[in-house]
């Protein structure tokens, strides 16, 4: 009989890779995934109502004793592409490397995000085997293109809105159980995202007449573009502490050593100092303290000996809570200070609303963390640094959170969207318990 780990590995072997250009997506693994979970989780599919949304996204409804303020558990089916040569193992073989507590499943999607998706399926299947019926409806919402457009999740939200479903709690992927993220704080913390940064791409374009590279103009398009990029890099967005970040520090303060404890306990007074120091403490601390902008793509001439008629750069901007797409665009224009550089905004969305870190929904998450993952773990508000499908659900719920119930090391977190993505077997199994306790907590 297959074990939870066997089922997890089988689903990890399906290469559900999404593409921005969906005409390039191989949909066969997605269809195989849907068929596989129907076979692997028979109780779930016998009891829950399932519908396919937007072609490949999955929405399940588990009818509870009441339908008001249901729980929505989110995850996504798709994974990012791989560079096979960079991996130590086949990224879609789901090999187990190591023994005992160090045994880990190496596979694309092991954490992002099939780890959560399959843990949710396991929790529901186990509860059904126990004869459990939730006090309120439970929805499982699995998008198929979170890593690209997120259109699947948007369609799911549209379906729920049309049915007047107002979730009392929505939980998607996000922060994990970590240690040492905040310098000086060694206690394990469950970082629960109460908001996430906005996202936008700014396309910069500099143009010229072109010609042969042997006779370049005094200021070619590539040089103009390089100057614009350099100006953006040398003038970062100002640092400040957004409300979720202040709440995080206030929650962690009692667990910090002196004199850091005193600094964090007086956050209203120390915020300017912390905002100035955090960007120097590494990429994560910089990202929670300011809107970030980084050039991710460059293009120029089609040949080595050809002048570029247009030089382009894509700048990825992640907006801190309180900033807006409009204000960030104006600032980019001011910093570049060159009307000859065209600025086009793409894929823009403002930061999400901030969900409360007090009240029944928050306590329900904290209780499940304590019962399933460890009573000594401190559950704290957190500003989600990346974008997720959860941002679409803020349109129908005021209680949208982002938490992946796995205890992850720095190296494991660094492997997300990179090579050698992996999760320890014991860590993943404990995550199943978190979802089981969260559902029971209704």
pLDDT digits (tens, 9 = 90+) for 361-377: 999 999 999 999 999 99
Mean pLDDT of the chain: 95
pLDDT of residue 263: 87
Mean pLDDT confidence for 387-402: 96
Q: Is the pLDDT of residue 210 over 90?
A: no
pLDDT of residue 347: 85
Question: Closest Cα to residue 54, out of 77, 38, 79?
Answer: 77
Calpha distance 313→333 (Å, rounded): 14
pLDDT of residue 225: 97
CA distances in angstroms from 9 to 28, 234, 422, listed in the order given: 18, 46, 12
Q: Is the pLDDT of residue 242 over 90?
A: yes
Mean pLDDT confidence for 211-228: 94
Q: Is the pLDDT of residue 85 over 80?
A: yes
CA distances in angstroms from 3 to 7, 14, 40, 404, listed in the order given: 6, 18, 10, 22
| Domains of the chain in sequence order | 4-196+353-440 (3.40.630.10), 198-349 (3.30.70.360)
pLDDT of residue 34: 98
User: Which residue bears the tokens 């912390």?
Assistant: 274
**Cα angle for residues 309, 313, 315 (degrees, 5° grid):** 160
Q: Is the pLDDT of residue 442 over 80?
A: no
């Amino acid at each position: 009989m297959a074990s939870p780990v066997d089922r997890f590995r089988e689903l990890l072997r399906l290469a559900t890779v999404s593409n921005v250009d969906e005409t390039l997506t191989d949909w066969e693994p997605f269809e195989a995934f849907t068929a596989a979970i129907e076979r692997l989780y028979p109780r779930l599919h016998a009891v829950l109502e399932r519908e396919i949304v937007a072609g490949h996204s999955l929405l399940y409804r588990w009818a509870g004793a009441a339908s008001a303020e249901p729980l929505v558990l989110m995850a996504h089916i798709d994974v990012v592409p791989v560079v096979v040569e960079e991996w130590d193992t086949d990224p879609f073989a789901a090999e187990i490397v190591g023994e005992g507590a160090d045994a880990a499943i190496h596979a694309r999607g092991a954490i992002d995000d099939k780890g959560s998706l399959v843990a949710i399926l396991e929790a529901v299947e186990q509860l059904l085997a126990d004869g459990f019926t939730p006090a309120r409806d439970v929805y499982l919402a699995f998008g198929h293109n979170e890593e690209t457009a997120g259109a699947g999740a948007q369609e799911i939200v549209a379906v729920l809105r049309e049915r007047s479903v107002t979730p009392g709690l929505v939980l998607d992927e996000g922060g994990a159980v970590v240690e040492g993220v905040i310098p000086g704080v060694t206690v394990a913390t469950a970082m629960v995202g109460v908001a996430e940064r906005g996202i936008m791409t700014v396309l910069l374009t500099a143009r010229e007449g072109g010609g042969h590279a042997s006779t370049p103009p005094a200021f070619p398009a590539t040089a103009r573009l390089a100057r614009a990029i350099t100006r953006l890099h040398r003038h970062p967005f100002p640092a400040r502490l957004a409300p979720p970040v202040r709440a995080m520090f206030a929650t962690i303060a009692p667990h910090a050593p002196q004199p850091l404890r005193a600094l964090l306990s007086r956050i209203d007074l120390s915020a300017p100092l912390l905002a100035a120091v955090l960007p120097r403490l590494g990429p994560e601390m910089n990202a929670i303290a300011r809107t970030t902008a980084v050039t991710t793509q460059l293009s120029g001439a089609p040949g080595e000996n050809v002048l570029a008629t247009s030089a382009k750069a894509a700048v990825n901007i992640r907006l801190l809570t309180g900033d807006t797409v409009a204000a960030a665009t104006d600032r980019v224009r001011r910093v570049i200070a060159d009307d000859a550089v065209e600025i086009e905004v793409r894929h823009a969305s403002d930061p999400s609303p901030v969900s409360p870190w007090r009240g029944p929904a928050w306590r329900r998450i904290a209780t499940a963390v304590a019962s399933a993952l460890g009573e000594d773990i401190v559950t704290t508000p957190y500003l989600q640094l990346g974008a997720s499908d959860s941002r679409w659900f803020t349109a129908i719920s005021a209680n949208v959170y982002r938490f992946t119930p796995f205890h992850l090391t720095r190296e494991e977190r660094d492997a997300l969207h990179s090579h050698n993505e992996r999760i320890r077997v014991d860590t993943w199994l404990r995550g199943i318990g978190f979802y089981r306790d969260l559902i029971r907590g209704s």
